[in-house]
Amino acid sequence: MDRGKFITLEGGEGVGKTSSLDYIADYLRGRGVALTVTREPGGTTLGESLRTLVLSERELSPEAELLMMFAARVQHVREVIVPSLAAGQWVLSDRFTDASYAYQCGGRGIATEVIEFLEKWTLGHLRPDLTLLLDAPVEIGIARIRARGAMDRFECEASEFQKRVRHTYRMRAEAFPERIHVIDASRSPGRVRADICAELERRFAHDF
C-alpha cells in the first residue's frame, strides 16, 4: 500500500487557518482521499491535555513550553500521523514542527539548534510533503483576533512577538521552498481558497 501524503497548515494568529483547514479537508475528501484531520498541540489524549495547559498557563517558561510542544508532537506522530500514513491515508494537520521554529525560536528566542536537535531526535526523517503557510501582516491578524472576542495565551502576545513569529515563518519558507508554499492570507477567503486549490492540484493532481 502506498504511503499517504502529509500536509500541514501553518501561519500566525488571525490568518484564517481554521476555515482554510475545513476547506482543504472538504476538497481532498471530494476527490476520494482517505483523510485524517488533526492538530498540534493535540490530536491525542495526551496532546489535548498539554494543549489546554500550553494555551492557558500564564507562567509557563519558554523551555517548558517547547518541551511540552514536543511531548505532544511525539505522541501525535507515534499514535496518529505515522500509523495513518502507513495505512495509505493522507494526514492534514493544523500546525507541525515549523510552528516550534516560529513560536519558540522566533517568538521566544530559543536557539534554533535546540529545536533542530529535538526535531531530529524525536521525528527522525519525518517531514510534511507540503506545508501551506498562510501569511498576513500582523496588524490584520490582530484585528481579526480582537473581532472574535476571547483570546488564548499566544493570541494575547504583543505585536512584536507576532512580528518575530511571522518573520521566522517567512524565513522558513525561503529556506524550504520545495516544501513550504506561501499564500497571501490578507485577501478574501475566496482568493485564499483559490490559491490553496491551485497548489494542491499542482502538487498532487496525479495522486487523486
pLDDT tens digits for 134-169? 999 999 999 998 888 778 899 889 999 999 999 999
| Residue 81 belongs to some domain of the structure | yes
Cis amide bond preceding 41, omega within 30: yes
- 1 pLDDT band, cuts 50/70/90, is low
Q: Identify the pLDDT of residue 152.
A: 86
Q: Identify the pLDDT of residue 151.
A: 82
Q: Identify the pLDDT of residue 148.
A: 84
Q: Identify the pLDDT of residue 150.
A: 76
- 58 pLDDT band, cuts 50/70/90, is confident
| Residue 152 belongs to some domain of the structure | yes
* CA nearest to 86, candidates 140, 28, 6, 182: 6
Q: Is residue 106 scored above 80 in pLDDT?
A: yes
- Please report which residue ranges of the chain form alpha helices under DSSP H: 17-29, 45-56, 62-76, 82-86, 97-100, 112-123, 138-148, 159-175, 189-204
Supply the pTM of this predicted model. 0.95
| Residue 1 belongs to some domain of the structure | no
Mean pLDDT of 116-129: 97
Cell of 7: 500536509
Range of the domain at 23: 6-207
CA atoms of 102 and 161, how far apart (whole Å): 10
SS3 for 61?
coil
| Residue 52 belongs to some domain of the structure | yes
Q: Is residue 128 scored above 70 in pLDDT?
A: yes
CB 51 within 8 A of CB 72: yes
* CA nearest to 18, candidates 94, 90, 97, 73: 94
Q: Is residue 198 scored above 70 in pLDDT?
A: yes
CB 128 within 8 A of CB 8: yes
Q: What CATH number has the domain bearing residue 177?
A: 3.40.50.300
Report the number of distinct structural domains present in the chain: 1
Q: Is residue 2 scored above 90 in pLDDT?
A: no
Q: Is residue 30 scored above 90 in pLDDT?
A: yes
| Residue 174 belongs to some domain of the structure | yes
